[in-house]
């Protein structure tokens, strides 16, 4: 993630109202898949929150939450909120 980004901190419940239609390329962390796996393990084992940096059609956002599951295209956050992996920039513990 670029050091100059100032993501907007949002609540996970707002993610469902965001738009992910734009096909702009998101510059993802090179180890993003491993970050997702590690964050899912932390969420399921220790109920640990992580910071997820992602981009919607309006810009970069950050959400602090627990990841419960992941698939090939989406991650599932606590509360049944889904976020497309293609829009995730980085996950920090």
1 located within any domain: no
CATH, residue 51: 2.30.30.100
* Residue pLDDT, tens place only, 18-32: 999 876 789 999 999
Mean pLDDT of 57-63: 96
8 band by pLDDT with thresholds 50, 70 and 90: very high
pLDDT at 16 over 80: yes
- Total domains in the chain come to 1
HSE-CB at 6 with a 13 A cutoff on CA atoms is: 0
Owning domain of residue 21: 8-92
Alpha helices in 1-93 (DSSP H): 32-46
């Amino acid at each position: 993630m670029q050091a100059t980004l100032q993501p907007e901190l949002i609540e996970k419940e707002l993610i469902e109202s965001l738009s992910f239609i734009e096909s702009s390329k998101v510059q993802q962390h090179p180890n993003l898949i491993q970050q997702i796996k590690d964050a899912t393990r932390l969420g399921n084992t220790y109920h640990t929150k992580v910071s997820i940096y992602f981009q919607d059609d309006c810009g970069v956002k950050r959400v602090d939450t627990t990841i419960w599951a992941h698939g090939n295209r989406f991650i599932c956050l606590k509360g049944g909120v889904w976020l497309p992996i293609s829009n995730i920039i980085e996950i920090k513990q």
